Amino acid sequence: MSTQTIAVHLPDGAIREVPAGTTPLEIANSISPRLAAASVVARLTPLSGTAQSAATTSSGEQSAEAAMYAAEDSAAPRLVDLSTPLTADTRMELVTEKDPEALKVVRHSAAHVLATAVLELFPETKLGHGPATDSGFFYDFYREKPFTPEDLVAIEVKMAEVVARNEPFIHEFAPREKSLEDFGKDGDFMKTHFVTKFTEPGSQVSFYRNGKFVDFCRGPHIPSTGRVKAFKVLSLAGAYWLGDEKNPQLQRIYGTAFFSKKDLDAHFERLEEAARRDHRVLGKQLDLFSIQELAGAGLIFWHPKGAMIRKIMEDWMRDECLRRGYQLVYTPHVARVNLWQTSGHEGFYASNMFTPMELDDAMYRMKPMNCPFHILIYKNSPKSYRDLPVRYAELGNVYRYERSGTMHGLLRVRGFTQDDAHIFCMPSQIESEVAACIDFAEAVLHTFGFTEFKVELSTWDPSDRAHYAGSNENWDLAIRSLDNVLKSKGIPYKTIPGEAAFYGPKIDVKLVDVLGRLWQLSTVQFDFNLPARFELEYVGEDGERHQPVMVHRALFGSVERFFGVLIEHYAGAFPLWLAPVQVGLVPISERHIAYAGKVEKELKDAGLRVETDARNEKMNAKIRDFANQKTPYILVFGDKEEVAGSVSVRTRGKGDQGSMPLADFIAKCKELVATQSTEL
């Protein structure tokens, strides 16, 4: 061994001089054995070059596969095994269970444990690959005989044995050609494919061994199988090898793993709660919306009750727009392809658009965005600096192509309604306009009952000039403005360099729902590109022609998607001001129906949404039906109430509240609705 010494820079600023070949585990142990025991992997960042912020988290199979095997960016931070010998000066951080990336390493290691168990039980099985996912892991297998539910149970039991054996994960290398030969001999067609695709001829191929099990893998891994402390085999799905139905059918076993049993249990509780709130289930149960096979996937039919909620959302939004100095516009759903060529959508966005349709005069396309239409309205008459800012708002229906099979309820659709607005302003007005947009976004959140949100500022990568339209000055001005607004409002945010659209930087607001899930909501985007493409102008104070800056902003984002989030957030129990039926009336017997008519009229006159159940059913059945529809108030009345001019009130979630004079009840409802209360 050489006596070369390397410098390891630790996060607290300390620098350790250690012999080359020292491992992160040895360094961890020298700091504290407890830290060593808590560490999962180590993160190395080369000393030269700039550290990239948070590695891009990509989901989807292709990227997962590429991320597993592809060569790494040598300047980026990378995770390594605790047993990796350090060979050069480096920054090093020990990654413990507190780091979200550590969980991915545990989950991928659990996938190796799964494959180990499968091969011990079913040695004829051929292996595909087994990446970590956002919620767990999977492994693809090929075996002529399909796995049965009993097999999955046996596999889980065997996995527990592999974990109990606490086998160390050992990183090994073998010559590529020899590896391909071995895999070929064993008929491992998937491993042969991955090695061929993701390694260079003449190279050494990376393997991980635990016990007798060896897998082609770049790592990193946890120190040993015993560190998979809580796991579960979940399900089995079929998939064709490489997504081609002419290829053999693979069996994909899904599982998940956590740092502790407690985390695992909490995960399943969250899943159950999420299933209970699934907007597709509640949408059907509460008769809010549907998707019709005959009409096509991803196209939403709003039923009367869903439509009522939508009307309230849209009325609120339009009134707020007017109050905040926007002008409302309406534009068509289709336009000639020429327009999309001018806007650039035909070039940059065509794959997200519905295919063109030919009419007698030209080719037309459904609109994927409203921007070019608002621009045409702006351009229709000359503008002076006195007219700016011009703010056009529209609840515009747009159509975007999503691959069949990828649609999901209200959340991923082919036709949706954007609460879209475009602001045309002078550079000097950017900051106040953005501040107003952020205020507006906060008002949306608070009004609809969300208290927590996260903000991201996506900026450009100035070293990648070719990918961004607009001058340096404009970019600097825009980013500075967005920065200033967020800072002056005291809103914490995360800057994501290189994530801006090519036409300008943006602020994204993600709401946090009652289950702690993040949903992309509002977006405020700058645009230097479209004003140039459409040669937009205004006459400045100096009498010269200038180009305005354009801001795109959507606050609900998509009305459909926002509605889906609302359904899940409230589990269908909408606050009184949003509830499609606010008050359910239950006359105890037929002779009280006349009084029901009188109560209904008074409530309707007060602007409340009422439904009377006049069926010849038992009182309790009627109450139950309204309760199942999550109706906020149920009023029950018989002889006693009729004589007193009162109603007996049942409040959602609170039960029977006793009798009260009808006038008092109405006053109370009006108060809750007027304040958009989320109390009920």
For residue 47, the number of C-alpha atoms closer than 13 Å in the C-beta half-sphere is: 12
Catalytic residue among 43, 107, 129, 400: 400
Q: Catalytic residue at 193?
A: no
The phi, psi pair for 554, rounded to 5°, reads -135, 140
Q: For residues 213 and 450, which CB has a smaller minimum distance to Zn ion in the complex?
A: 213
Strand-pairing partners, residue 584, are 611, 634
Looking from the CA of 654 toward its CB, the CA atoms found within 13 Å total: 11
Region near Zn ion per CB under 5 A, out of 258-266, 363-371, 391-399, 647-655? 363-371
Structure tokens that stand for 277 in this block: 């709130």
Is residue 400 involved in binding Zn ion (CB under 5 A)?
A: no
Hey, which residues does 493 pair with through a beta bridge?
455
Smallest distance from Zn ion to CB 39, Å: 18
Residue among 262 and 333 whose Cβ is closer to Zn ion: 333
From the list 70-78, 282-290, 491-499, 544-552, the region that binds Zn ion by CB under 5 A is 544-552
Return the range that interacts with Zn ion (CB under 5 A); candidates 81-89, 192-200, 209-217, 610-618: 209-217
Nearer CB in complex with Zn ion: 441/649: 441
Does residue 669 carry a catalytic annotation?
no
The catalytically annotated residue of 43, 345, 506, 553 is 506
Distance CA 474, CA 496 (A): 18
Residue number, 137 or 595, with CB nearest to Zn ion: 137
> In which region does residue 77 sit, left (phi positive, over 0), alpha (psi from -120 to 50) or beta (all else)?
beta
* Catalytic pick among 43, 365, 367, 552: 552
Q: Does 217 bind Zn ion (CB under 5 A)?
A: yes
Give alpha helix (H) positions in 142-241: 149-164, 176-185, 189-198
212 token code pair: 């007798």
The pairing of beta strand 15-19 with beta strand 5-9: antiparallel
Task: Please say if 622 is a catalytic residue.
Answer: no
Interface mask toward Zn ion for 321-360; x: CB under 5 A? ----------------------------------------
Q: Active site includes 420? A: yes
Instruction: Identify residues 179-198 at the interface with Zn ion (CB under 5 A).
Output: none
| 106 vs 128: CA distance, rounded Å | 19
* 399 sits in which H/E element: strand 390-399
113 makes contact with Zn ion (CB under 5 A): no
Look at strands 506-512 and 518-527 and give their pairing: antiparallel
Q: Does 104 bind Zn ion (CB under 5 A)?
A: no
Catalytically annotated residue among 217, 321, 371, 669:
371
Least distance from C-beta 418 to Zn ion, angstroms? Answer: 8
Binding-residue pattern over the window 278 to 317 for Zn ion, x denoting contact by CB under 5 A:
----------------------------------------
Could you say whether residue 552 binds Zn ion (CB under 5 A)? yes
The reply on whether position 391 binds Zn ion by CB under 5 A is no
The residue among 217 and 536 lying less far from Zn ion, judged by its C-beta, is: 217
Q: Which stretch binds Zn ion (CB under 5 A): 15-23, 211-219, 299-307, 598-606?
A: 211-219
Number of residues that bind Zn ion (CB under 5 A): 3
Of 528 and 570, which has the nearer Cβ to Zn ion?
528
Q: Are 43 and 92 in contact (CB under 8 A)?
A: yes
Report how far residue 343's alpha carbon sits from residue 375's, in angstroms, rounded to the nearest whole number: 10
Q: Which two tokens stand for residue 231?
A: 């796991």
List 418, 429, 582, 629, catalytic entry: 418
Region class of 162: left (phi > 0), else alpha (psi between -120 and 50), else beta: alpha
Residue with tokens 């205020």: 439
Measured from the CB of residue 552, what is the shortest distance to Zn ion in angstroms? 3
Nearest residue (CB) to Zn ion, 155 versus 217 = 217
- Of the two residues 118 and 566, which places its CB atom closer to Zn ion in the complex? 118
Binding to Zn ion (CB under 5 A) within 598-627 occurs at none
DSSP state of 87: -
Q: What DSSP character marks residue 125?
A: P
CA torsion angle 271 443 486 56 (round to 10): 30
SS (H, E, C) 232-287: EEEEEEEEEHHHCCCCCEEEEEEEEEECCHHHHHHHHHHHHHHHHCCHHHHHHHCC
H/E stretch holding 98 reads: none
And the tokens for 575? 């606050």
Does 371 bind Zn ion (CB under 5 A)? Our answer is yes
* From 90-98, 140-148, 187-195, 214-222, span contacting Zn ion (CB under 5 A): 214-222
User: Is residue 371 among the annotated active site residues?
Assistant: yes
| Segment interacting with Zn ion (CB under 5 A) among 29-37, 285-293, 364-372, 644-652 | 364-372
Contact footprint for Zn ion (CB under 5 A): 217, 371, 552
Q: Which residues are catalytic?
A: 371, 400, 418, 420, 422, 506, 552
